[in-house]
């Protein structure tokens, strides 16, 4: 796995993600926008994964530090 990290400033403070996770997050943010929806993303309680989903919906993707993603209903 890469040692490159990306830091993203957010209204709730800076979030640092591994490069692979950052790329996958961008892919799903773009996909949700292409569907005409507003994406929302946030770090998970575990501290290593992030979730991304359309605003107002609970189904979406959980993205691990390695960039792998699982769709969760």
The pLDDT value given to residue 50:
96
- Between 3 and 59, whose confidence is greater? 59
Q: What residue ranges do the domains of the chain occupy?
A: 5-72
Residue with tokens 């290593």: 48
pTM above 0.85, yes or no: yes
Distances (CA, A) of 36 to 11, 27, 49, 68, 70: 23, 15, 25, 24, 21
The pLDDT value given to residue 54:
98
Token digits of residue 23: 């790329």
Interatomic CA distance for residues 2 and 46, integer angstroms: 20
The pLDDT tens digits of the residues spanning 14-65 come to 999 999 999 999 999 999 999 999 999 999 999 899 999 999 999 999 999 9
């Amino acid at each position: 796995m890469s040692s490159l990290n990306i830091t993203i400033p957010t209204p709730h403070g800076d979030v640092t993600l591994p490069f692979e996770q950052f790329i996958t997050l961008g892919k799903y943010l773009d996909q949700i926008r292409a569907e005409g929806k507003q994406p929302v993303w946030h770090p998970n309680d575990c501290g290593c994964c992030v979730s991304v989903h359309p605003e107002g919906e609970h189904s979406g993707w959980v993205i691990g530090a390695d960039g792998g993603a699982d769709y969760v209903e």
